[in-house]
């Protein structure tokens, strides 16, 4: 299949950036990233700069691949990362726009690669459970209702790829932060530091320059791991508690 790619080329954060058109011949079995690999091989052979993009596991669990394909983070297929998106979902002769995530807190490093360390700094402020010593205790000694464990596991599916931020017209990271908070706060081990964690992570999220949620819901639709808006509702409740609760 013959494709026309309009790929965003940008040489560093201070460069203005522009779309450049490339013709590429792919086949339907290729993943989107493999198709880009083919393009990059050709560019290298022609002694041109290859297109820079993030990728790692290529099996949908690391959250590294991060581009916006035809206006959608991770492309047109729901609940799928770019690495798991196959070319059979495109047609011969298609023109495909490929851009980096656009958000203030995710500055472009080069071409399609953006700096997502803002997420790491949010995690550093509270995305952990403070058990500093001893071995892990027997899991069966910690009683937890199955329904709660499921909710936590649903939130834990977040791979921190940042598609929610990229899809949000407000550049907000509420779905990501709420996923991390629900993952930890709902479990008995994480419940101890629930309010403190909520306060710290949201505070860091704001300092990183992410926007405010207006419940548009594009994040939920574009999330490759199907993280639900209900996580944000729960996060808001914890945040209200953390803001208004006294020490007693």
Binding residues for another protein, per CB under 8 A?
Answer: 6, 19, 68, 70-72, 97, 99, 101-107, 167-172, 174, 202-203, 205-206, 209-218, 221-222, 229-230, 232-234, 236-237, 239-240, 243-244
Question: Shortest approach of another protein to residue 55 CB, angstroms?
Answer: 21
Report d(CA 111, CA 100) in Å as an integer: 7
In the complex, least distance from residue 229 CB atom to another protein, rounded to whole angstroms? 7
Pairing assessment for the beta strands 68-69 and 2-9 based on DSSP bridges: unpaired
* Smallest separation (angstroms) from another protein to the CB of 234: 7
DSSP class of residue 186?
Answer: T
Least spacing, CB of residue 245 vs another protein, in Å: 10
Which residue's entry shows tokens 């495909």? 96
The nearer residue to another protein, 93 or 134, going by C-beta atoms, is 93
Q: Please, which residues have CB within 8 angstroms of residue 58's CB and are 6 or more apart in sequence?
A: 31, 33, 65, 83
Nearer to another protein, 192 or 230 (CB): 230
- CA R_g for the chain: 20
223/6 Cα distance (integer angstroms): 24
The residue count for the chain: 248
Q: Rank residues 129 and 229 by Cβ distance to another protein and give the closer one.
A: 229
Q: Which is nearer to another protein, 80 or 189 (CB)?
A: 80
């Amino acid at each position: 299949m013959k494709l026309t790619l309009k790929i965003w080329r940008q040489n560093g954060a201070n460069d203005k950036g522009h779309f450049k058109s490339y013709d590429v011949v792919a086949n339907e079995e290729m993943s989107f990233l493999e198709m880009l690999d083919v393009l990059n091989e050709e560019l290298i052979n022609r002694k041109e700069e290859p297109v820079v993009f993030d990728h790692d596991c290529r099996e949908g669990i690391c959250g590294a691949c991060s581009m916006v394909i035809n206006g959608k983070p991770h492309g047109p297929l729901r609940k799928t990362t770019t690495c798991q998106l196959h070319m059979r979902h495109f047609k011969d002769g298609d023109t495909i726009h490929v851009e980096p995530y656009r958000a203030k807190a995710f500055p472009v490093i080069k071409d399609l690669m953006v700096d997502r360390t803002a997420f790491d700094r949010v995690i550093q402020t509270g995305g952990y459970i403070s058990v500093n010593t001893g071995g892990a205790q027997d899991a069966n000694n910690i009683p937890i209702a199955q329904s709660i464990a499921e909710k936590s596991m649903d939130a834990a599916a977040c791979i921190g790829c940042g598609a929610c931020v990229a899809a949000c017209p407000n550049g907000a990271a509420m779905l990501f932060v709420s996923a991390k908070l629900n993952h930890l706060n709902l479990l008995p081990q994480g419940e101890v530091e629930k309010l403190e964690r909520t306060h710290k992570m949201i505070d860091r999220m704001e300092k990183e320059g992410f926007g405010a949620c207006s419940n548009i819901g594009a994040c939920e639709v574009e999330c490759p791991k199907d993280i639900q808006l209900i996580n944000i509702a729960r996060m808001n409740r914890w945040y209200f508690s953390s803001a208004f609760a006294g020490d007693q």
